[in-house]
Amino acid sequence: MDAISLPGWVKQILSKPLLINQYTESEIDELKNKLARFNVENPVASILIPAWNEEEGILHTLISLANTNTEYPTELIIVDNNSTDGTNALLKRLGINVLFEEKQGVGHARIQGLNKAKGKYLLSADSDTLYPPGWINAMINALKQGEKDNVYCVHGTYAFLPSDKTPRWQYGIYEFLSGFVIRKNEKNTPYLNVLGYNSAFITQKGIEVNGYDIPVQRTFRGIARNKGGYAAVDGMMGYRLMEAGGKIAVVSDYDAKVWTNDRRIQIDGGIWKALVFRVQKHLFKK
């Protein structure tokens, strides 16, 4: 049913306002109290989210994480990448651990967060994505179970949230077709499936390979279709972890399926242009 509709928990979150000033004080306090679970001294896992000018988007992401059902002590680290809107004030109002990175670029923000993370496992997330209640458990369990086989990194699956420009059924078709690309990548180049909004790795391994440090860093709104082939900091992390002897595994559990904003697709010119580009890039490359 996900091909044409949204899960109930996603609909519930999307029905809520995007701006914090549209909530009552009691609603804000309730969310703050839920998020307080991430203020732990000795976390097993760290969730890392880079953010730039997300005052009108990150609240839904935080609501989804606040509803997690994990038993693992987890810290939440959000790196404000020099936002010019009210992102920083919103996060501080909710009592979130906020780091600041002045140098613009997703990779720079992730490096800052990675070096400060206390958890054994680093869960990579984004500020425009909704996470199911079982997401943390699914990702950590996969890493723990894979350690004996040298699995350093895992990634989940995803679906796109519909927008005014693209209805959900069209994204269902897009995801079905792009699934062929994803499965092809899993065989020989699994690092291409490592995405910043739904992946995880062993923190120390990520620090050792310095995976987020690449010559050209993508800005938060990105470059249409990424023709230069650079700026995939998350894929580079996966690639360097593989070079270091690690394996990458896909987490097929439904709890590892996240729902993300379609603005990346729109930057690439819309759903069908994005699909054609992806197929040409990954299936017919020389």
pLDDT tens-place string over residues 232-261? 789 999 999 999 999 999 999 999 999 999
- Contact between 217 and 234 (Cβ < 8 Å): no
Tens-digit pLDDT profile for residues 87-122? 999 999 999 989 999 998 899 999 999 999 999 999
The answer to whether residue 226 scores a pLDDT higher than 50 is no
Alpha helices in 133-270 (DSSP H): 135-146, 168-188, 203-209, 233-243, 263-267
What is the dihedral angle through the alpha carbons of 10, 14, 16, 17, rounded to the nearest 10 degrees? 150
What beta strand segments (E) does 29-188 contain? Answer: 45-51, 74-80, 97-100, 121-124, 129-130, 151-155, 157-160
Q: What angle do CA 84, 89, 95 make, to 5 degrees?
A: 145
**What does the chain come to in residues?**
286
pLDDT at 231 over 80: no
Lowest-confidence pick of 83-92, 166-175, 263-272: 263-272
Per-residue confidence at 270, pLDDT binned at 50, 70, 90?
confident
Instruction: Give residue for tokens 């995007």.
Output: 18
The pLDDT confidence band at residue 223, using thresholds 50, 70 and 90, is very low
**What are the extents of the domains in the chain?**
8-163+191-261
Expressed in angstroms, the distance from the first to the final Cα of the chain is 36
Alpha carbon 36 to its chain centroid, in Å, reads: 21
H/E stretch holding 257: strand 257-260
The per-residue pLDDT for range 143-155, each reduced to its tens digit, is 999 999 999 999 9
Collapse the DSSP code of 130 into the 3-class scheme (helix H, G, I; strand E, B; otherwise coil) and give the result: strand
* Tens digits of residue pLDDT in 77-90: 999 999 999 999 99
Given the structure tokens 């179970």, which residue do they identify? 145
> What are the respective helix, strand and coil percentages of the chain, to the nearest 5?
45, 15, 40
Task: Say yes or no to pLDDT of 178 above 90.
Answer: no
CATH no., domain 8-163+191-261: 3.90.550.10
